[in-house]
Amino acid sequence: MAGVTNPPFRRLCREFGGDQGVYVAEMVTSRALVERNPRAIRIVSFDADEHPRSAQVYGVDPATVGQAVALITGEDRADHVDLNFGCPVPKVTRKGGGGALPWKTTLFAAVVNAAVRNAPSQVPVTVKIRVGIDEEHETFRDAAQIAVAEGAAAITLHARTVAQRYSGTADWAKIAQLKDMDLGVPIFGNGDVFSAEDALAMMTRTGCDGVAIGRGCLGRPWLFADLAAAFSGSDVRVKPDLATVSQIIVRHSQLLADYYGDESRAAKDMRKHIAWYLRGFAIGGETRRQLMLVTHLTELAEQLALLPNQPFPIAGEGPRGRMGGAKRPHLPDNWLATREVDDKMAIELMGSELAGFGSEVTGG
What does the alpha-carbon distance between residue 49 and residue 37 come to, in Å, rounded to a whole number? 24
Residues 6 or more apart whose Cβ sits within 8 Å of residue 10: 23, 25, 47, 50
Query: For residue 118, is pLDDT > 80?
Result: yes
Query: For residue 358, is pLDDT > 50?
Result: no
> Which one-letter DSSP state was computed for residue 3?
T
Q: What is the mean pLDDT of residues 114-136?
A: 97
Q: What is the mean pLDDT of residues 211-234?
A: 93
Burial (CB < 10 A; 0-12, 13-18, 19+), residue 252, is buried
Residue of 2 and 34 predicted with greater confidence: 34
pLDDT in the model for residue 3: 66
Q: What is the mean pLDDT of residues 283-304?
A: 92
Q: How confident is the model at residue 278 (pLDDT cuts 50, 70, 90)?
A: very high
Query: For residue 321, is pLDDT > 70?
Result: no
Contact between 364 and 214 under an 8 Å Cβ cutoff? The reply is no
Q: If we measure between CA atoms, which residue out of 117, 61, 27, 118 comes closest to residue 363?
A: 27
Query: For residue 289, is pLDDT > 70?
Result: yes
What does the alpha-carbon distance between residue 295 and residue 100 come to, in Å, rounded to a whole number? 39
Q: How confident is the model at residue 362 (pLDDT cuts 50, 70, 90)?
A: low
pLDDT in the model for residue 360: 58
Contact between 193 and 159 under an 8 Å Cβ cutoff? The reply is no
Active-site residue, 87 included:
yes
Q: Please tell me whether the overall predicted TM-score, pTM, comes out greater than 0.85 for this model.
A: yes
Q: How confident is the model at residue 315 (pLDDT cuts 50, 70, 90)?
A: confident
Q: If we measure between CA atoms, which residue out of 23, 24, 16 comes closest to residue 236?
A: 16
Q: What is the mean pLDDT of residues 79-94?
A: 94
Question: What is the tens place of the pLDDT at every residue in 140-154?
Answer: 999 999 999 999 999
Q: How confident is the model at residue 317 (pLDDT cuts 50, 70, 90)?
A: confident
- Output phi, psi for 20, to 5 deg: -80, -5
pLDDT in the model for residue 1: 52
Of the candidates 13, 87, 208, 217, the residue annotated as catalytic is 87
